[in-house]
Structure formats: C-alpha cells, structure tokens
Chains A and B, each alone.
Chain A
Amino acid sequence: MKNYILLIFFVLNFGFVVNAQEWTVPAEEAEKVSPYIFEDDFVTDGEILYENSCTSCHGTPTENNFMPFSPPPGDPASEQFQSQPDGALFYKIQKGRGIMPVFENILAEEEIWSLIAYFRSFNKEYVQPEFDYGDEVLSELKFDLDFDENIDKLVVKVFSDGEVEEGIDVSAFVVGMFGKFPLGKTKTNELGLAYLDVDPSLPGDKQGNLDILVRVRKGYAIEKATTSMKIAEPAQQTSLIEGRHLWSTGDKAPVWLLVTFLLIVVGIWGVILYIIFGLFRLKKIG
C-alpha cells in the first residue's frame, strides 16, 4: 500500500518534471533562418493561418487567453515566445510535442515561416536575421501584364535581371473580397511569355474591372503585383433594397398601403373629432 502511494507520488512528481522540462531544440535547427522577407503581405498570410490552426489553443496573441493545458500553450506575443530564435519556433511548429500537433506534413515551410512572421509582428525590437543565400543570387524579377481579348488569355512577360528566360513560375489569381481565386499556374516559354486562361463568365464590377494578382517566382525570388484590369463584362448590380416592399424600411412603405392606412385613419379620426367638437357646442344648442 505504502509503495503504491509512493508510486503515485513519483509519477506525479515525474509529470511535474516533464512539464517544467525545457523543450530543447537541436542547435543546428535553432540557427535556421527564414529565406522569406517578413513583409506585411507575408504577415497577413500568417495571421490567416494562425486564426485557422492555432487560435483554438493559443488564443489571440497579446491577450494571454490560451487554453489552460499542461504544459501551457503560451501566447505567441509573450516574452517566452519572442525570446526564442526563429529556428527554434520553426522546429517546434514542425515537430510538435504532447498536445501540440505535428505540423510537418500539414503546413509548407513557407507557411510556417509566415506564422513566425506573424508572431514577430508583435515584437517591435525584432530584426529579421539575414538568410544566407550562399551561391544563389536572387534575381531581380519584373513583369509586364496584358490581356489578349481574342483568346481570352492573360499574357505575362517576365524579365529576370532584365532578360527573358524560360521556365519561370507564373501564377495568376482574381482577388476576391475574402480570398484569391486561382486562374492558373504555368511557366514562361522561351520568349519569356506565360499565358493564363481567364474564364469569360467571371463577373467584373460595374465597370467590368477585375483585380488580377500575378505572382512570379524564381527560386527564393518572388515578385507580385495586383492590377485592376478591364477584362470582364460590366455587371448590372442591382441593390437588394431597391423599391418599395412590405419589408422595406418605414420611409419606403408601399404606396398602396400608405394611402389606404392614412385614408382610414384620417377618415375615422375626422368623424371622431367632428363629434367631440360638436359635443363642446352642445351648451349653445337650444
């Protein structure tokens, strides 16, 4: 019996030790740095990812409203998180521990880095360490965008360091209110040209404009830009609250109802007032 209690005590104690134990990250992993620049766009990508995959346990950053688990998940904006190097955070997200899931196969490396970019957006002192691209020289990418009405295709001409080049990744999206609708993904041909289909049935705004996001990528070098292009049919957008309906606001009540109501009320109250005034003249009647 005594041994039994002792065992429980030991297990409990051991649990405590595990909880308090540092989550050690191999040194070479901790030194890893992001090849992607933590720019605003990248931070926003991370924020969206965070809301979908992390909020349920870690809560909203800066609010310290993470779930009361043991070990505590912690708040990404806290000192405990921010004091760790980027590589350590990257490793922990990838590998997981205990309740923390393994994200290695769920999130791409780029996505994990965007999460870290989001965490760092809460730290004003943070300076992103430079990634050593080694021999690889980041090309300076530029592109021109046009629309060929005859074949309903977007034409993207890409220049890498001022030269056309074959095999550069080009993707295009229609920018919707909440997300990007992919038009397609292709590579440039030997003339540096990439063609992307645009569905002619896509509705534009009232002027027929569509916001097109084009993204060009060669290695770690990424260039993207959003352009408003007049490539769709101008849409006939009718307001949902046009006209006079029974459900419209009071000032847009149907005319027939307004007239009927007022006629009845004025009619009846006219007679009532006529009688009331008549009564006050009762005294004078002989």
Chain B
Amino acid sequence: MAEKSNAPRRKSRREFLRKLGTTGAVSIAGTSLLFAGSKTGNSDKTPGSKVKMLDQNNRLVEADVSQVSPVSVKIDAGYLNKKGRKGLPGRKFVMVVDLARCRNARKCMKACQGAHQLRPEQHHINVLEMYDEENGASYFMPKPCQHCDNPNCVTVCPVDATFKREDGIVLIDNERCIGCRFCIAACPYSARTFNWAEPKDAEKYKDVPYDMELNVPQKKGTVTKCAFSADRLREGKLPYCVSACPNGVYYFGDENEDLVTNGTTRETVRLSKLLKQNASYTLMPELGTKPRVYYLPPRRS
C-alpha cells in the first residue's frame, strides 16, 4: 500500500487531526445547553446583557438573559434522531463553490475529516484535480455531496436510512443503514464512502450518543457522506469545510433568503446575482439530479 510508505512523515498531522476530531465529539456529548448564548461562558445574569438563541423557527434571535432560563436538555439518541430527520423549517440550503479561488489548500478536507471521525482515505468532501480539456490547464474542484433535489441514492435505499429533509439536506441514519451500498453504486458523483472497518477512534466514541446531523459516532458497516454539517447549521454556523477555507472558495446560505455568506471573508451576497453574474453551473445537469451545490467557473473572464 502506497499509503504506508509516507506514514511516519504524516504522523504529527494525523495526531493533530485526531485531537480535533475528539474535541468535536466531546462538545456534542452528554448534555448541552440548548441556546447558543451560553457558549460565551462569562455572560453574567444581570438584566440587560443579551444572549443569542434559536427560536421555534430556528432563526437566531437575541433575548435578554433575565428572560431565559438555561434548560439543560439531556441529548439522548431518541431526541437526536427525531431532530435529525426533521430538518430546519423554512430553509433551503445551498452551497456555491467558486472554482476560480480554489488553490488546493485542502483545509476543507481536513476540517471535515476531523469533525466527522473519518479516516484519511474517507472523504465527505474531496478536492479533485480536473482536466476538462486535453490541452487545457487543470483546475481544482472541491466535490462535496451535491444534496440533489432528485437524489438517486435516496431512491434506491431499501430501508429509509438515507433521506431528504425539508431543508434540502440529504442525510444518513447510520443506525438504520444495513450496509447494502446500493446508494454508493447509485450516486454518479461518488460522494459516498463506506466504513469498511471499525471507524477511526471507535473506542473513544463508544459512549457518545449518535448525532445523525453530525453522523458521529461512525459505525462499522454503514455508509457515510457529507451532511452539509447539519449540526452546525442548527447552531447558525457555517459548515466545517466552509469556515475552514482560507481562500474564500465557499459561499453557503439559504435559498429562501437569497443570501449566501462567504466562509472566509464573511461577505454576504445575493445568491441569484452571484449565480447569474458568474455563469454558474451544476455538475452533470443532464442526469436530472438537480444538485444544490453550484459551481462558478474556474477562470474569470
């Protein structure tokens, strides 16, 4: 195996990734406070200081600290499962990948693998070097799950283990998955990967309750794939890959708002204008899968 030969050189980096992965899991483990405001820690309880929290419609709102009492919700598997299948009402998530900005930094891949307990060869997002023209220059293309509106992978699933939510995200319930790998065969974008062996650090994640939106802990013999970081979206944060990019490749947002936010520059722009002004396209539209990930061409005119 080619991988083995350069293993020592990459060890330290892996060690780091492993640590990152653990922190991701620990923060969701056990009990956690429902409103995001509690995260800032030092917010005192004197009237007048504000906290940010999600209201019933999952909109981020500010409220006075004196008006909310921190409700500690036991995050058990049942709660996570129900929440994971529901989705965020009134949202339609989209991603725009600006290929002209991609410099193959691969921070997105690292952040993703760290957050989702993935082995180095498992990719929820994979940066590919593409050669569209034999004589043309190559370019780099990050390829996450396209979260299609007509997802063939979901069509073929025999047990409803993978499903589409009302906010457009295609998720996997790895407690339901029987490991038939039909979805892997059906996906034309090769977006799915399988846990052939015991997942990375399985022992550490043993007692962590399963969070469908994070798809952690991973389980042996089940399929895993990009979830648009649904766990982060619920907190009003951008996906792991989007916020890790140093080059401003990713825009992410809600189609209903017609706004997308760049993960690096934090610049928020109109989705419709961004797509129109930059000759956007989707991957293999001829297959009729209707992807929710748009690409802006690799060269600026």
Contacts and interface: CB of A to CB of B under 8 A. Distances in A.
Interface residues of B, number: 58
B91 A65 contact: no
A237 interface: yes
Nearest to B18: A65
B49 interface: yes
B83 interface: no
Contact of B268 (A68, A179, A235, A249): A179
Interface string A152-174: 00000000000000000000001
Contacts of A202: 258, 270
B113 interface: no
B42 A123 contact: yes
A44 B154 CA distance: 38
Contact of A203 (B164, B257, B264): B257
A194 to B, nearest CB: 21
A23 interface: no
Contacts of B269: 181
Contact of A178 (B155, B166, B236): B236
Interface in B153-172: 154-155, 160, 163-168
B10 to A, nearest CB: 14
Nearest to A242: B166
A41 B150 CA distance: 40
B16 interface: yes
B174 interface: no
Interface residues of A, number: 50
Given A63-B19, A124-B41, A177-B253, A48 B164 contact: no
Interface centre among B40, B165, B166, B243 (most CB of A within 10 A): B40
B37 A178 contact: no
Interface in B205-232: none
B245 to A, nearest CB: 9
B40 A178 contact: no
B74 interface: no
B108 to A, nearest CB: 12
A241 interface: yes
A180 B268 contact: yes
A140 B92 CA distance: 41
Given A41-B50, A205-B90, A250-B160, A177 B236 contact: yes
Interface of A: 39-41, 43-44, 47-48, 51-52, 55-56, 59-60, 63, 65, 67-68, 120-124, 126, 174, 176-182, 199, 201-203, 205-206, 211, 226, 235, 237, 239-241, 245-250
15 contacts: A40-B43, A55-B244, A176-B254, A177-B236, A177-B253, A178-B253, A178-B261, A181-B270, A202-B270, A235-B256, A239-B166, A240-B165, A241-B164, A241-B165, A248-B164
Given A121-B42, A123-B42, 9 more contacts: A41-B50, A52-B266, A176-B259, A179-B268, A181-B268, A203-B256, A247-B150, A247-B151, A249-B160
